[in-house]
Structure 1
Amino acid sequence: MLSAEVIAQIAAELARADREHTVIPRITSRWPEATIEDSYAIQGVWRDTQIAAGRTLVGRKIGLTSKAMQQATGITEPDYGVMFDDTVHESGAEIPVDHFSNVRIEVELAFVLKHPLEGPDCTLDDALAAIDYAVPALEVLNSHIELEGRTIVDTISDNAAYGAMVLGSVRKRPDEIDLRWVPGVLSRNGEIEETGVAAGVLGHPATGVAWLANKFHQHGARLEAGEIILAGSFTRPMWVSRGDEVLCDYGPMGTIACRFI
């Protein structure tokens, strides 16, 4: 495992890359012995510095939960990161592309919890009972580590490549809709680029919420009421550039639009 000094050094590098919108060399090319435990420790140090600087944590993102995303990245297990209040946008937002690095969009559902959720044996039914409502969401990926050759260690260290999210306005309780069959039709500048259904996320998009609660239990923590859980993409990531108009149609759950400026 990496020393505390090296972990702090990498966290500081990532914080600087976030401020300056730059990319750093792969962690695993410089410290090939780094483990997944090291990567979450790096993310944790970075998170704590952000909170100390005044940012407010509002939820968690889960990534790499679908075959589409695992094939796109070559990474075969889920990961998670944190989300701060200043990264949440509403549909119709204009998003400065220069605030991010390696900017891509993913199609997801987000869940807001009405009750705390705790492992170690949390099931899908437990997660559904704890969810207040689901809402469609687009995730903006923001990768501060060079993409070629990166591993799960690099991705987790970089806050699971989370940059921002854009939330829709249609909210559904889990008993109001079969969440497995929520569609996503993602367009860029009027042309359809990606399609999928939410069942592509672990068979049911809320399965990732249960997975995260069990993962947190290993660290003596739980998911809290009011947290937003971004459940993972059911399409491949779509690259975006300045000037792109993005629209995603979620069928019965409405649409999300945003523009990159």
Structure 2
Amino acid sequence: MTEEQIRQAAAMLRAAEAKREPIAPLRDAWPDMSIESAYAIQQENMRWRLSQGRRRIGCKIGLTSAAVQAQLGVDQPDFGVLFDDMAYGDSEPIPASILMQPKIEAEIAFVIGRDLTADRPGTLDVIGAIEYALPALEIVGSRIANWNIRIVDTIADNASSSAFVLGNTPVKLSAFDARLCGMVTERRGEPVSVGAGAACLGSPLNAVVWLARTMAAHGTPLRAGDLVLSGALGPMVPVVPGDVFETRINGLGSGRAMFDRDPNEVRA
């Protein structure tokens, strides 16, 4: 893709978000779009968001499920950028106005305590750099109509990111087993998703190692204070306005996501 085409694709995604009107897959308009071009589109919109006063606070990792990778024809995860206005507190109402084809998934969030500047960070580097972990609920959303995505569509769309909720109690890595910890997510008390740390690339720490190496290779290493959403521990669940979800992860505690009702909803 040319630089002009990259700018055009980025503008299409911004317009879709502003209007709350999903668009056709980008790959339809540019069949030759590569993964590199998709990340260039993502970076174009990252620069635009920063110019509008938003603050980068970390990264999210996507496509950590082997089944989803097979569906999209890839053999590795992807990543997107987290911004300050995507964060919501535990039980803080999430406005319906930000939602676009929303789904929710439970994850482990890690906060980086020191810079990971090695050319190829390893597991020991990552374990030593993580300050603490938190339970998290990520709300994914797609600017692509009907979630008709392939790898280039979701990368360009900032890894289909939307918002996230963090639990309140930081936990050190030594206090829980990131691979074996079990997870259950409930919608108003009814279980809707179950899983464990092993569902995320064998361990969420493997996902963070992949991200640390990828970011270092891009010349933008993970830094102290960065937040990392490491990937889903179980199946995604569709969200509708008014929903309430709570996730519990063994050893990490719980977190709750509450969604406002749509103000345009007709009530009896």
Query: How far apart, CA to CA, are the structure 2 residues paired with 1:143 and 1:72?
Result: 17
Instruction: Map 1:133-172; keep pairs closer than 5 Å.
Output: 133-147=132-146, 149-172=148-171
2:78 is the counterpart of 1:79:
yes
What's the offset of the Cα at 1:15? 1.3
Where structure 2 has 5 or more consecutive residues not aligned to the other structure, the ranges are: 261-268
1:183 equivalent in alignment to 2:182: yes
Instruction: Determine what percentage of the aligned residue pairs are the same residue.
Output: 36
Contact 1:111 1:228 in 2 (8 A): yes
The answer for the alignment partner of 1:34 in structure 2 is 33
- Deviation (angstroms), 1:98: 2.8
Q: Structure 1: any 5+ residue segments left out of the alignment?
A: none
**By how many angstroms is 1:104 displaced?**
0.3
Q: Distance in 2 between matches of 1:167 and 1:192?
A: 19
Residues 128-177 of structure 1 show CA distances to partners (whole Å, capped at 9, x for unaligned) of: 11100011100000100124542100000000001011000121111222
CA–CA separation in structure 1 for the residues paired with 2:70 and 2:184: 19
Structure-2 separation of matches of 1:146 and 1:140: 17
Amino acid at match of 2:163: A
CA distance in 2 between partners of 1:30 and 1:14 (Å): 13
Are 2:5 and 1:6 aligned?
yes
Most deviating of 251-260 and 108-117: 251-260
Matched, 1:45 2:44: yes
Aligned to 1:132: 131
Mapped partners of 1:68, 1:234: distance in 2 = 13
Runs ≥4 in structure 1, deviation > 4 angstroms?
71-76
- Per the alignment, do residues 105 and 71 of structure 1 end up closer, same or farther by CA in structure 2, a change over 3 Å counting? farther
Supply the AA of the counterpart residue of 2:36: E
Q: Distance in 1 between matches of 2:71 and 2:242?
A: 25
- Greater shift, 134-143 or 209-218, is seen at 209-218
SS in 2 for 1:115: coil
Q: Distance in 2 between matches of 1:69 and 1:107?
A: 16
Partner-residue secondary structure (3-state), 1:232: strand
Match of 2:256 in 1: 257
Aligned amino acid, residue 208 of structure 2: V
Q: Assess if the C-alpha contact under 8 Å between 2:20 and 2:100 holds in 1.
A: yes
Cα RMSD (Å): 1.6
Task: Give the superposition deviation at 1:225.
Answer: 0.5
Q: Does the 8 Å contact 1:124/1:207 carry over to 2?
A: yes
Query: Once the 2 structures are TM-superposed, how far is the Cα of residue 259 of structure 1 from its aligned partner?
Result: 1.7
Give secondary structure in 2 for the equivalent of 1:180.
coil
Q: Distance in 2 between matches of 1:73 and 1:233?
A: 16
- Give the superposition deviation at 1:80: 0.3
Distance 1:247 1:71 in 2: 29
What is the letter of the counterpart of residue 192 of structure 1?
Answer: P
Residue 246 of structure 1 aligns with an amino acid whose one-letter code is F
With normalisation by structure 1, the TM-score equals: 0.94
Distance 1:103 1:148 in 2: 10
Paired position in structure 1 for 2:219 = 220
Q: Counterpart of 2:172 in structure 1: which amino acid?
A: R
Mapped pair 1:89 → 2:88: yes
Post-superposition Cα deviations, 1:176-199, rounded to whole Å, max 9, x if no partner, equal 222212221011122111100112
Q: Retained in 2: the 8 A contact 1:69–1:235?
A: no
Match of 1:206 in 2: 205
**Greater alpha carbon shift after TM alignment, 63-72 vs 124-133:** 63-72
For 1:221 and 1:164, locate their aligned partners in 2 and report how far apart those are by CA, in whole Å.
22
Corresponding residue SS for 2:120: coil
On the 8 A contact 1:103/1:141 being kept in 2, the answer is: yes
